[in-house]
Amino acid sequence: MSTTTLTRSDFEPTIVGNDIVLVDFWAAWCGPCRQFAPVYEAAAEKHPEIVFGKVDTEAERELASAANITSIPTLMAFREGVLVFSQPGALPAAALEQVIDAVQGLDMAEVHRQVAAQQALQSAPLEATQEQFVEAHAQGRTVIDVREPMEYRAGHVPGALLVPMRQVAEKAGELPQGEPVYVICASGNRSKSSTDQLRRMGFEAYSVAGGTSAWANAGREIVTGPFPTAQG
């Protein structure tokens, strides 16, 4: 089976209407694209059960922009309408076969479960009210304080771990996966930014509305002193 030229009008129907679709984003002026073309064509002939699409990024600039293409060639793979692979660069034949094998071997029930979980997380409220946070805190949920060390030492929620905002991405690997993480700052501004960052990384994170100030103003306990971090 030969490759199929895709345009803005038939791109989505092709992705949705077929089990596995590979898409090569290319341009005629691109040397690596010309290098990859015969490899891609050969794979299309070898795997007639797969749709091998091609998008000319010069002719379909709007489509390429919507797909966030910043380098060509870029190869994308879709299975059951879900993007499961995306990588720029001209793959050699063996590497392309590895991608195809991996896509064919995916547990799509698990992939769809992960997609649904991520969509549910993204649609969940970004903030937790003080009342919700009080309950979560009583349950021993993880709390990170994204203020600076001097602010933290001056007074923080008991048990909160110090993870300054600038270090959230660096320290994210030390946070528990699969359970809520509550993010607190002074009033709720820095915690919103950090929560958004953690959610993009797959964490179920919530920004604490009102921050440490609201907690303290309600007469709840404040701890002063050293710097517990995400590592303990």
Catalytic positions are: 30, 33
Helices and strands counted in the chain (H then E): 10, 10
Work out the end-to-end distance of the chain between its first and last CA atoms, rounded to an integer number of angstroms.
Answer: 57
- Sign for the CA dihedral angle at 85, 91, 95, 98 comes to positive
* Cα gap 70→17, rounded to integer Å: 26
H-helix or E-strand spanning residue 12: helix 8-16
Phi/psi for 173 (5° steps) reads -65, -15
* Cα gap 113→119, rounded to integer Å: 10
* Cα gap 153→35, rounded to integer Å: 59
Q: C-alpha dihedral over 197, 202, 205, 207, to 10 degrees?
A: 20
* DSSP SS3 for 103: helix
